[in-house]
């Protein structure tokens, strides 16, 4: 992928236009361009930098790019840092049994702050340095989201195609990070950009390996998220982007991933227990997320 990242914006645009001619009507040139930079970012993170703490690729983009079980374009990248690699084990582990609710919240708050520090002081500087070694120093940026210190925004090198993106899909790659998620089960998966599907011979390395959260786990994560939203009080604002979770659950339910998840109720129980600890809510009613009562 690095060879394509290094060529001129005009050459890349030509490749993405030609790829769209093969992949149409599903993929527009601007979407193919953004998808390339999503995949290239993951390639640099996993294949080259091998950044630590260990990162788990999860969420909707993992379902589309790493597992191929949904068809929608998911442009944001969800990455979870291992709390073990951040040092939150033993007497710092929020999951330690027997501690008070207050102590658990204190440890979770400390975990979040440690995550922010690693992103700010290690991840962003290393990402900038590595990206610059391939694409130079001009025409792009890597910055922390001013509204969320756990989100990194890669404004990728634009071409004439960037103006073709829908308003809701800006020409940036959002790396949405955190450390409260569970990282089990996970597996090594291969992903490749749309352009490499159309023209694999143009790429010196058309794919990359990522460490992705198991799609069965993602199924139950989304089901329990929607279950919590069902119980959201009327006076609390509804979260944005719920429609994509309904779509993903529907698509997963049609796939053997959904069938396998439905047979693994122990995994559902693990997801519920984790959310009760790390994403506790007085109204989510996670305890009722059991077969027959899930909404």
Tokens of 156: 């990728």
Pair type for strands 208-213 and 186-191: antiparallel
Whole-model pTM: value is 0.94
Residues listed for the chain: 295
Mean pLDDT of the chain: 94
Residues 265-279: what's their mean pLDDT? 97
Please compute the mean of the pLDDT values over residues 77-84 and round it to a whole number.
96
Tell me the per-residue pLDDT of 239-250, one tens digit each, with 9 for 90 and over: 888 999 999 999
Separation in Å, CA 143 to CA 120, 148, 214: 9, 11, 29
Exposed e or buried b per residue across 154-190, where buried means at least 16 C-beta atoms within 10 angstroms of its C-beta:
bebbbbebbeebeeeeebbbbbbbbbbbbbeebeebe
Q: What is the pLDDT of residue 162?
A: 82
- pLDDT exceeds 60 at position 6: yes
Predicted confidence at residue 240, as pLDDT, reads 83
Q: Averaged over 120-141, what is the pLDDT? A: 96
What average pLDDT score do residues 172-196 get?
96
Q: Return the percentage of the chain with pLDDT > 70, whole number.
A: 99
Tens digits of per-residue pLDDT, 29-71?
999 999 999 999 999 999 888 764 589 999 999 999 999 999 8
Give the DSSP H/E element, type plus range, for residue 77. Answer: strand 77-81
Q: Is residue 109 predicted with pLDDT exceeding 60?
A: yes
């Amino acid at each position: 992928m690095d060879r394509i990242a290094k060529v001129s914006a005009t050459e890349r645009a030509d490749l993405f236009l030609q790829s769209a001619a093969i992949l149409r009507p599903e993929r527009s040139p601007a979407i193919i361009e953004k998808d390339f930079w999503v995949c290239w970012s993951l390639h640099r993170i996993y294949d080259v930098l091998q950044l630590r703490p260990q990162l788990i690729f999860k969420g909707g983009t993992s379902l589309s790019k790493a597992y191929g079980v949904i068809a929608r374009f998911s442009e944001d990248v969800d990455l979870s840092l291992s709390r073990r690699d951040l040092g939150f084990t033993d007497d710092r582990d929020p999951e330690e049994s027997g501690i008070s609710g207050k102590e658990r919240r204190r440890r979770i708050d400390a975990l979040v702050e440690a995550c922010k520090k690693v992103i700010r002081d290690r991840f962003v500087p290393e990402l900038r340095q590595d990206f610059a070694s391939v694409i130079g120093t001009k025409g792009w940026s890597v910055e922390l989201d001013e509204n969320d210190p756990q989100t990194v925004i890669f404004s990728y090198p634009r071409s004439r195609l960037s103006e073709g993106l829908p308003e809701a899909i800006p020409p940036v790659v959002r790396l949405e990070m955190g450390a409260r998620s569970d990282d089990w089960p996970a597996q090594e998966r291969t992903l490749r950009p749309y352009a490499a599907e159309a023209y694999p011979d143009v790429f010196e390395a058309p794919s990359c390996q990522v460490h992705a959260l198991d799609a069965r786990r993602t199924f139950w994560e989304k089901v329990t998220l929607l279950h919590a939203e069902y119980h959201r009080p009327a006076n609390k604002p509804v979260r944005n982007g719920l429609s994509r979770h309904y779509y993903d659950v529907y698509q997963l339910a049609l796939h053997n991933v959904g069938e396998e998840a439905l047979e693994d109720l122990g995994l559902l129980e693990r997801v519920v227990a984790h959310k009760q600890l790390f994403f506790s809510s007085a109204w989510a009613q996670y305890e009722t997320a059991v077969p027959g009562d899930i909404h």
